[in-house]
Amino acid sequence: MRKTTIRSMGVLGAVTLAAVSLTACSSDGEAGGDAGSSYTWWDPYPQHDAASDWGKRVEACGVEAGVTVQRTAYDTTALTNQAMLSAQEGTSPDVILLDNPAVSTLADTGMLNTMEEFGFDTSAIDENLIAAGQIDGDTFGIPIGANTLALFYNQDVLTAAGVDTASITDWASLTDALAKVTSSGKKGITFAGIGTEEGSFQFLPWFWGAGADLRELDSPQAVAALELWTGWLADGYAPNSVISNSQNTTWEEFLTGDFGFVVNGTWQINSAAEADFATGVIPIPGQKGGSAAAPTGGEFVTMPVQKDEARYDTTRKIVECMTTTDGFVETGTTFAYYIPPTADGQAAILAENADLEPWVDAVNAAKGRTSDDLGTDYPKVSEQLWTAVQEALSGVETPEVALQQAQEAAEAAIG
């Protein structure tokens, strides 16, 4: 069903490509591209201009392929919408870097080529990461890296409160730690409960950490997770600002030095190192122990269907540049927070920065948002989930009622 509308234009036809390992890429500058020709690249990083390290990274992959890459950046939502419009108009770019939950949405329209069609071997990619780009056994992109969530902590605050992070192994022990921090005169924890995808993203480790499933938003496990958050507000362990907090504003709160903990991601590694106090990182605990599965963030490099199939060989070379072991590490270093999606890449980046080990562990335990067999239904479910979180945190509904309503709305939306 997903391939009928656009694939009728022809994808690769009889073109055959030699199998390309993710660890093999030419870097001699003679990639066989069309010198002087332009290839188009879209990504969701408008904050990084052409002079940035990322802009130069994309440009260098074009040089390696022997062509000029014309890069255009949109915010995440606008990128998905623009990509779908371009497919309808037959003007898709050669490469699109997509937020991982959007891959299945675009693939379902038939506008993306599969990695198998391009000859890429994705078997080295961690299964929990590649899954976001797979539908019915086909793989529609390659993650350039991954980020996820964990608990940053203020060591000075915890020391003054008598909290040892080694004692935090489950929800009960974390809540005990928050009680000690607030009793010492500081604030316990901040997180992002905003009514957007960021709110769902931050809630999912607790949702999954309770054993809940996105196909059943009103399960007892899901209710327990939301009751954890509302209980923290009721007891004063978390501020009311979490109802409207984005991930950026939670970080700003944490940097004041008043909080013991904050839920945030790998992208704050450099900022944490530059904070005015000692910081550390621990995994988000599961309800009954162990590390909770946090959602995977990060983008997939994808290759839309083109009318001119002769472009594919050079497009493949551009993508190869991004997806070798060295390429994964270079991207991770460029952003200072992306963890490579392969074991070899993770070993290589740890060799450069051993402090990333907690984040490598977190990524290895992470889970794609389109998991739980949701695929393109995820955005519909996520919207109902963040709505339930908002209603419960603001006291409009109890967690149980809010999640019951969310489940009913999600079922209606999915049909």
Q: What is the per-residue pLDDT across 326-371, written as a single tens digit (0 to 9) for each? A: 999 999 988 877 999 999 999 999 999 998 998 999 999 899 888 7
Residue 103 lies in a domain: yes
pLDDT of residue 9: 29
pLDDT of residue 76: 84
**What's the sign of the alpha-carbon dihedral 47, 49, 51, 57?**
positive
Domain residue limits at 223: 149-294+372-414
Query: Do 130 and 175 fall within a single domain?
Result: no
Query: Do 191 and 339 fall within a single domain?
Result: no
145-159 tens-digit pLDDT: 999 999 999 999 999
Query: Do 27 and 96 fall within a single domain?
Result: yes
Query: Do 218 and 189 fall within a single domain?
Result: yes
**23 vs 111, higher pLDDT:** 111
Residues written for the chain: 415
Share of the chain above pLDDT 90, in %: 80
Q: Is 410's pLDDT higher than 90?
A: yes
Question: Residues 44-63: what's their mean pLDDT?
Answer: 94
pLDDT of residue 34: 53
Domain count, the chain: 2
Question: Residues 8-35: what's their mean pLDDT?
Answer: 32
How far from 64 is each of 59, 173, 219, 314, 315, CA to CA, in Å?
9, 52, 51, 10, 11
Q: What is the mean pLDDT of the chain?
A: 89
Looking at residue 139, its amino acid is: T
Question: Residues 292-307: what's their mean pLDDT?
Answer: 94
Query: Do 125 and 36 fall within a single domain?
Result: yes
Q: Is 8's pLDDT higher than 80?
A: no
- Cα separation of 316 and 26, whole Å? 11
Residue 5 lies in a domain: no
Query: Do 354 and 272 fall within a single domain?
Result: no
pLDDT of residue 194: 95
Looking at residue 105, its amino acid is: T
Query: Do 407 and 280 fall within a single domain?
Result: yes
**Residue 280: DSSP 8-state:** E
Query: Do 95 and 34 fall within a single domain?
Result: yes
pLDDT of residue 264: 96
137-195 tens-digit pLDDT: 999 999 999 999 999 999 999 999 999 999 999 999 999 999 999 999 999 999 999 99
Query: Do 162 and 231 fall within a single domain?
Result: yes
Q: Which of 99, 22, 64 is nearest to 315 (CA)?
A: 64
pLDDT of residue 32: 37
Q: Which of 326, 330, 302 is nearest to 316 (CA)?
A: 302
Contacts of 313 (CB under 8 A, 6+ apart): 17, 32
- Cα separation of 280 and 263, whole Å? 12
Looking at residue 181, its amino acid is: V
Question: Residues 84-93: what's their mean pLDDT?
Answer: 94
At 26, is the pLDDT very low, low, confident or very high (cuts 50, 70, 90)? very low
pLDDT of residue 77: 81
pLDDT of residue 24: 30
376-399 b/e with 16+ CB inside 10 Å = b? bbbbbbbbbbbbbbbbbbbeebeb
Q: Is 43's pLDDT higher than 90?
A: yes
Question: Residues 380-405: what's their mean pLDDT?
Answer: 97
Q: Which of 104, 87, 139, 147 is nearest to 118 (CA)?
A: 139
How far from 248 is each of 233, 262, 271, CA to CA, in Å?
20, 11, 12
pLDDT of residue 375: 81
395-400 long-range contacts, Cβ below 8 Å, gap at least 24?
Answer: 399/223, 399/226, 399/227, 399/230, 400/218, 400/223
Cα dihedral: 124, 129, 131, 133 (round 10): -90
Share of the chain above pLDDT 70, in %: 91
Asked if 234 and 254 count as a contact pair (C-beta separation under 8 A), the reply is no
> Which helix H or strand E contains 31, and what residues bound it?
none
Query: Do 245 and 160 fall within a single domain?
Result: yes
The CATH number for 88's domain is 3.40.190.10
**Residue 374: DSSP 8-state:** T
244-265 tens-digit pLDDT: 999 999 999 999 999 999 999 9
Alpha helices by DSSP H, listed for 336-415, are 343-352, 357-365, 378-393, 399-414
First to last CA, the chain: 17
pLDDT of residue 27: 30
Residue 11 lies in a domain: no
- Cα separation of 42 and 70, whole Å? 8
Looking at residue 93, its amino acid is: P
111-114 long-range contacts, Cβ below 8 Å, gap at least 24?
Answer: 111/6, 111/83, 111/84, 111/87, 111/304, 111/305, 112/140, 112/141, 112/302, 112/303, 112/304, 112/305, 113/11, 113/12, 113/140, 113/302, 113/303, 113/304, 113/305, 113/312, 114/138, 114/139, 114/140
